[in-house]
Chain A
């Protein structure tokens, strides 16, 4: 009997006139989204490769080791095709040098504002918004619609157990909606192969899990639609409730969570943090200047009574020692500024993390939020993407500056411009320019932070679990409601 009920429900959905059109349009939308995503991914790869090659060339052709500056790019990841997350919003490029801290700039949207105006509609968005609505539209009248049409009475004039009926309804509706959803999923995967997107086994695992999560998310709305159809007598009422619930769950609750968290946990703005950092740097450099002046005064004190020749000999003897000392002090100042900036950033990140945790906890009441969080985690385009890169860049920066210092010392230059004025030989300017190009073959390379399947799946588990819970709770609600449903 369960088979009969499932088959009937499946046929009712599949043979309904709205089904073919709806699924043709949504499948096309999804395939179009993946195709556009693949094209954008290939563009991003080309841009990444060109800019990386250009940076390498600029480094090789640098004036000297002192002026060696590196620029690191965030490498595109194939998963951004499916879930853009914060990928297009955060910067892709950061300068790596000893003077300025790490800062990712040049986001896709800042470079090409047209993308910000017509934002990329990714698969996760289509599933989250379009398929959830479809699931509700196909199930909101699953039970009360039958009661209104009068078929429910005829069904239950037979020895049909209610539990089996509602289970049949759910499984039938699930198959009717999920199987067609799998078709664009499979075609999307095929597009990746056809258009040579370099998917590692890890990427495939993440994509499969993303597909599974999408199915679970749509299941929540199928169960919710059936619940509404058992909780109301009239299909017009359940239709209205479905729309209101959909708007609340997909649009309002996720944003309300972030807004409430923003009010509860206040964090200083980036401008405030930067102003604080600049003030500290200004103060630190001012103190350094004062110290430098005092030091030079004390250095010059012993030579005031000397003859010109003795003075020059004395200076010649101590000059490198003094310059090294000044350089050490200067580096110490920079280190202090870096440490302050790091600490300020850390504090801001901690506050941000606290705000994010609260926002996520509040917004997770919505399955759309849970799905989105799981999707961005699985794709690696979650909110920690920027921090992951900044952390990796902060690890890389000392390696790079140490390499640069080492090369600088090895080449004998202290950096900067050395001007020597001699009454006999005239002015001699040493820019430290190396002969030919710089050999940077042994330069430490930036390691793009990698995210394994496990790294991606573990934080997504809580949201996947929540989606499972929402599905179960909605179906259990429908089940309990239907046990006492008036079938007349």
Chain B
């Protein structure tokens, strides 16, 4: 039996007060154990879509559902089922990695974790042990992204939203990050990721959507794209050749 989608956009539309259409009638779904990669240029509407899922913005029409709950109708209930990793994870620089984890995990509604749990998860995301109890002041972007994904793991939500998580990471860190996402998918998480990185999207995603000017102009499974040159397709969609 096919599992119910954990992340679902139904005719999702966002028009700003100045009339700009950021997201236009976008529909897609992400099921447990699936990575959905949203590709698109700057201003394509990827981050706005994620913001609509997190209820940082109210949709003009349509809805974004998390675990079946419309996030604009009951944001608190919906957010219990989702974790979020932003493009540039910003944490408290005066606190250590473990202290940051403890705070955000408690805000995520999870309690009872031990220092050992924090140690294990930080090691799993690839943060070296000597950094665990250091203040975040000197942390690189890659180290902060690792802390961000550690927070998402500890929240243990069935769905994860990632907004260009590998942007600005060096190739090794990017690779490790995608490996980690793969393992989370294998644990049954539904992952929605916005990215510019066509290579990593093709390598890791189960479904790829291309957004342009707020519209979801293409949506294909990895299987359907197996013989295709994704880069060519992407460039064609970006240029509007396929319309």
- What is the total of A-B residue contacts with beta carbons within 8 Å? 64
Name which of B78-86, B114-122, B174-182, B231-239 contacts chain A.
B78-86
A347 near B: Cβ within 8 Å? Answer: no
In the complex the two chains form, is B51's CB within 8 Å of A158's CB?
no
Residues of B within 8 Å of A151, CB to CB, are 90-92
Contacts A8-B103, A487-B56 given; indicate if A157 touches B83 (C-beta within 8 A).
Answer: yes
For residue A286, CB closer than 8 A to chain B, the reply is no
How would residues 33 to 71 of chain B score, 1 for a CB under 8 Å from any chain A CB and 0 otherwise? 000000000000000000100101100000000000000
Q: Name B86's closest neighbour in chain A (CB-CB).
A: A153
Cβ-defined contact, B94 with A12, below 8 A: yes
Interchain CA distance A213-B84 in the complex, whole Å: 44
- Contact size class for B? 20 to 34
**Which of B22-30, B105-113, B190-198 forms contacts with chain A?**
B105-113
List the B side residues contacting A318 at CB < 8 Å: none
Q: Which of B83, B106, B148 contacts A1 (CB 8 A)?
A: B106
Task: Check A259 for interface membership: any CB of B closer than 8 A.
Answer: no
Q: Are A488 and B94 in touch, CB under 8 angstroms?
A: no
C-beta contact mask, B151-171 vs A, less than 8 Å → 1, else 0?
A: 100010000010000000000
Contacts of A16 in B (CB 8 A): 94
* Residues in A17-47 with C-beta less than 8 Å from chain B: none
Contact yes or no, A1 B107, CB < 8 A: yes
Q: Are A154 and B89 neighbours in the complex by a CB distance under 8 Å?
A: yes
Q: Cβ of A157 and Cβ of B103 under 8 Å apart?
A: no
- Residues of A with C-beta under 8 A to B73: none
Q: Find residues 94-108 in chain B having any chain A CB closer than 8 Å to their own CB.
A: 94-95, 103-104, 106-108
User: Which interface residue of A8, A153, A157 has the most chain B CB atoms within 10 A?
Assistant: A157
- A488–B103 alpha-carbon span in the complex (Å): 19
Q: B106 to A157, Cβ gap below 8 A?
A: no
CB neighbours of A155 from chain B (8 A)? 104, 107
Which listed residue (A4, A5, A150, A486) contacts B86, Cβ 8 A?
A150
Please tell me if the beta carbons of A154 and B76 are within 8 angstroms of each other in the complex: no
Contact for B107 among A4, A12, A15, A153, CB less than 8 A: A4
A159→B77 contact, CB < 8 A: yes
Per the bound structure, the CA–CA distance linking A158 and B152 in Å amounts to 10
B88 near A: Cβ within 8 Å? Answer: yes
A157 touches B91 (CB 8 A): no
Kindly list chain A residues whose C-beta atoms are within 8 Å of the C-beta of B155: 158
Interface contact B94-A157, CB-CB below 8 Å: no
Contact A488 B107 (CB under 8 A): no
Question: What's the Cα separation between A5 and B109 when bound, in Å?
Answer: 12
Interface pair A158/B108, CB less than 8 Å apart:
yes
Cα distance, A156 to B161, chains bound together (Å) = 13
Residues of chain A within 8 A of B151, CB atoms compared = 154
Task: Report the separation of the CA atoms of residues A207 and B90 in the bound assembly, to the nearest whole angstrom.
Answer: 45
Closest to B155 in A: A158
* Alpha-carbon separation in the docked complex, A156 to B84 (Å): 10
Q: Are A158 and B103 in contact (CB under 8 A)?
A: no
Give min CB distance, A388 to chain B, whole Å: 52
Enumerate chain B residues within 8 angstroms of A11, measured Cβ to Cβ. Answer: 95
> Which residues in B have their C-beta under 8 angstroms from that of A1?
106-107, 109
Task: Say yes or no: A159 contacts B80, CB within 8 Å.
Answer: yes
Cβ contact of B94, chosen from A4, A15, A150, cutoff 8 A: A15
B86 to chain A, nearest CB (A): 6
With the chains together, A15 CA to B155 CA distance in Å? 26
**Interchain nearest-CB distance for A262 vs B (Å):** 49
A487-B56, A488-B51 known; A158+B107 contact, CB < 8 A:
yes
Query: Does residue A323 face the partner (Cβ distance < 8 Å to B)?
Result: no
Residues of B within 8 A of A8 (CB): 103
Most B-side CB within 10 Å, residue of A149, A153, A154, A161 = A154
C-alpha spacing A374/B57, complex, angstroms: 46
Q: Is A462 an interface residue (CB 8 A)?
A: no
- Structural contact, B88 and A150, CB atoms closer than 8 A: yes
| A54 within 8 Å of B (CB atoms) | no
Could you tell me if B79 and A159 are in contact, using CB atoms closer than 8 angstroms? yes
CB atoms of A157 and B92 under 8 A apart: no
Q: Is the CB of A158 within 8 A of B86?
A: no
A53 CB within 8 Å of chain B: no
Residues in B neighbouring A12, C-beta threshold 8 A: 92, 94
| Contact present for A158 and B79 (CB under 8 Å) | yes
Once the chains bind, are A153 and B79 in contact (CB under 8 Å)? no
Does chain B have a CB within 8 A of A313? no
Complex Cα–Cα for A155 and B103 (A): 9
Q: Is A160 located at the chain interface by the 8 A CB criterion?
A: yes
State the Cβ distance, B150 to closest chain A Cβ, in Å. Answer: 12
Cβ-closest chain B residue relative to A4: B106
Nearest-neighbor residue (CB-CB) of B103 within chain A: A8
A153 to B163 CA separation, bound complex (whole angstroms): 12
User: Given A154-B84, A158-B104, A487-B56, is A149 in contact with B90 using a C-beta cutoff of 8 Å?
Assistant: yes
Min CB–CB distance B54 → chain A (angstroms): 5
What 0/1 readout, one digit per residue, does chain A (272-316) give for beta carbons within 8 Å of chain B? 000000000000000000000000000000000000000000000
Looking at the assembled complex, report how far the CB atom of A400 sits from the nearest CB atom of chain B, in whole angstroms: 68
Bound together, the chains give a CA A155 to CA B54 distance in angstroms of 11
**Once the chains bind, are B94 and A153 in contact (CB under 8 Å)?**
no
Query: Can you name the residue of chain B whose Cβ is closest to the Cβ of A152?
Result: B90
List, sorted by A's number, 23 A–B pairs whose CB atoms are closer than 8 Å.
Answer: A1-B106, A1-B109, A4-B106, A5-B107, A8-B103, A149-B90, A150-B86, A150-B89, A151-B91, A151-B92, A153-B90, A154-B84, A154-B104, A154-B151, A155-B104, A157-B79, A157-B161, A158-B107, A158-B155, A159-B76, A159-B79, A159-B109, A488-B51
What would 9 more interface pairs be, CB under 8 Å, given A12-B94, A150-B89?
A16-B94, A150-B86, A153-B90, A154-B91, A157-B54, A157-B83, A159-B75, A161-B76, A488-B51
List 5 tightest A-B contacts by C-beta distance, closest first.
A150-B90, A157-B84, A159-B76, A159-B79, A4-B106
